[in-house]
Amino acid sequence: MTAQSEKPPTAEGGAQHPGFRMFDMVLFSVCAMLLLSQLTVTAAVGPSAIFWTVVMIVVFFLPYGLVTSELGSTYPDAGGIYAWVVRAFGNRWGSRVSWWYWANVALWVPSVYLMFSGVLSSIFFDGKLEFWVQVAITVALIWLNYLVNARSLEIGTWVSNIGAGITVLVIVCVAVAGGTYASAHGSATHWTLSTVLPHEGFPAIALALPVIIYNFLGFELMSSASTQMPNPKRDVPKTIAIAGALIGGFYLIATLGMQLLLPADEISETTGLIDTLTRGLDGVPGGGVLVTVLGIGSLYCFFACLIPWTIGANIAASESAQQGDLPKVFARTHPERGTPVGAAMLCSVVGTVVTLGYAVLFSLTDGAVDDLFWNLFAFSSVIFLLPYIVMMLAFRKLRRTDPDRPRPYRVPGGPLVELLVTWVPALLLIAAALFFVCNPFDFSAEVTGSIVAGLAVTFVIQEIFCKKSPEWTRQRAVERGEDPGTAAQFSDTVPAQKG
């Protein structure tokens, strides 16, 4: 991975590039985390999703944001979570985190493109597109994603900016349509204190917790760019606060609008967005055309939001492989363009194999696209959550092993606050991962079994990589003309701090 800085961010040791404006970083965070593919998943939880979103902002997002603010401004390493974990727990855990990041993206891509195929079916085929046709569309998009990754790394910021603008436009339309429909016909959802406030505590948590926590992850991407900010002590926490308020607010507005238009049990995780827009704009002059236009815009957003994530994950995997943390095939780059074709190719191969494997499983059990989407989403989400659990523990470890390092931003409070901001989010992340794998109140042996089997394969591959990595590290050093005896080896302990 990218080398880590041993110095705190200072005027002399900071970035040599022009500083990011706080507006730029807010926009980046909103673009990366406000995903149309998540709107229906959250709305399908039911009216209590609004309650749980507010609660999670307080008990999860706030401490998570404080921790990423401190880590990102104190350790401005380009590797982000990977670098923080290496500092706290050594290279072996850093390697695991690097693998989890890449594997999550490889698994997340097909779940989003399955939603793409569902929306496409709703817009142009009245929702009657055959199951295997939708699977074929998903596979085709996976390989289109590869071509974009392989051809150019200069996918301008306008791609994300346009995607963010369309996302906000769609959410506003859903909210307006929901309000207009409810004022004329009444709400499709029964709103009472008992429906909004979860009266079946544990079942409600098991349903809502993993989805809502997933929505709030990703701020460490912005924090790791703190060296390019003029004043990280001021800008990092303020950016997280502003972006978090916007993201949380837009998710709440979208959830409310969708549930005004459809009851939660009728919101499809793949076609729910178009279904709600269709109902909300029914009878409005030009409503059908507007639904089609917004649907096409949503399709663009589904594709555009994955491009920067896959490029980032593939570059990170390529850099990690160049250091010896992953197999050499991940390190292969295009001879002229320098793009990470090895990691991108493997990402598409894994996505294709997983998509087809799950499709065969669910076709044999009379499954539907919604079932396939949820399994791929849950599978990738568990892997996605794992690095954040380690990150929270790394925060507490670094407070103890590196207490004298200047911290441009420091989480306020004493030992009790430190304990709470570490363990409350960590335990919530663990619970969310467990509920993704197995919801005891909506148990399916086929669903849980398929996710557990996929996770087992992922973890076995991960430990094989960990075992082989010292050898790969020495090989990479020889190829670079360095002394293999001085090449970095795996270590489960953190070396003593210098000076």
Number of Cβ atoms within 10 Å of the Cβ of 7: 11
Q: What is the sign, positive or negative, of the torsion defined by CA atoms of 129, 132, 138, 144? A: negative
**Is the pLDDT reported for residue 248 higher than 60?**
yes
Residue 17 has pLDDT above 60, yes or no: no
On the question of pLDDT at 46 being above 90, the answer is no
Q: Which two tokens stand for residue 470?
A: 């010292």
pLDDT given for residue 299 in this prediction: 87
- The residue behind tokens 């701020």 is 219
77 token code pair: 């390493």
Chain segment 374-411, per-residue pLDDT in tens:
677 778 888 989 999 999 999 999 999 999 998 888 88
Nearest partner of 75 among 433, 472, 391, 431, judged by Cα: 391
Does the pLDDT value for residue 496 go beyond 70?
A: no
Mean pLDDT of 136-161: 78
Question: Which amino acid is located at 433 in the chain?
Answer: A
Q: Give me the pLDDT at residue 92, please.
A: 83
d(CA 352, CA 336): 27
Least confident of 85-94, 282-291, 453-462, 482-491: 482-491
- Radius of gyration over alpha carbons of the chain, in Å? 23
pLDDT for 367: 60
Report which of residues 474 and 338 the model is more confident about: 474
Instruction: Give the C-alpha separation, 317 to 315, whole Å.
Output: 5
pLDDT band at 86 (very low <50, low <70, confident <90, very high): confident
Contacts of range 438-441, beta carbons closer than 8 Å, 24 or more positions apart: 439/206, 439/207, 440/206, 441/202, 441/203, 441/206, 441/207
Helices (H), 186-271: 193-196, 201-215, 220-223, 232-261
* Residue 495 pLDDT grade (very low, low, confident, very high; cuts 50, 70, 90): very low
Query: CB 155: neighbour CB atoms within 10 A?
Result: 15
Instruction: Give pLDDT, residue 155.
Output: 57
The residue-averaged pLDDT of 100-107 equals 87
Tokens at 441, concatenated: 């109140």
User: What is the residue type of 315?
Assistant: I
Q: What is the pLDDT of residues 174-208, one digit of tens each?
A: 999 999 999 988 988 888 777 777 656 556 566 67
Distance CA 253, CA 272 (A): 15
DSSP state of 2: P
Count of CB atoms situated within 10 Å of the CB of 226:
29
Helix/strand/coil (H, E, C) string of 436-497? Answer: HHCCCCCCCHHHHHHHHHHHHHHHHHHHHHHHHHHHHHHHHHHHCCCCHHHCCCCCCCCCCC
Residue 78 clears pLDDT 60, i.e. is over it: no
| Burial track 79-106 (b if 16+ CB lie within 10 A, e otherwise) | bbbbbbbbbbbbbbbbbbbbbbbbbbbb
How large is the average pLDDT for residues 75-82?
Answer: 70
pTM here? 0.78
Task: Check: CB of residue 99 under 8 Å from CB of residue 457.
Answer: no
- Across residues 478-488, what is the average pLDDT? 72
State the pLDDT at residue 391: 94
Tokens of 232: 């990280």
Q: How confident is the model at residue 115 (pLDDT cuts 50, 70, 90)?
A: confident
Structure tokens at 55: 């609660």
Q: Name the pLDDT band for 305 (thresholds 50, 70, 90).
A: confident
Task: Please report the pLDDT score of residue 4 as a whole number.
Answer: 40
Asked if pLDDT for residue 21 goes beyond 80, the answer is: no
Rounded to 5 degrees, what are φ and ψ at 291?
Answer: -60, -45
Q: Sorting pLDDT into bands at 50, 70 and 90, what band is 9? A: very low
Size of the chain in residues: 499
Among the residue ranges 34-38, 292-296, 300-304, 365-369, the one predicted with the least confidence is 365-369
Confidence of residue 154 (pLDDT cuts 50, 70, 90): low
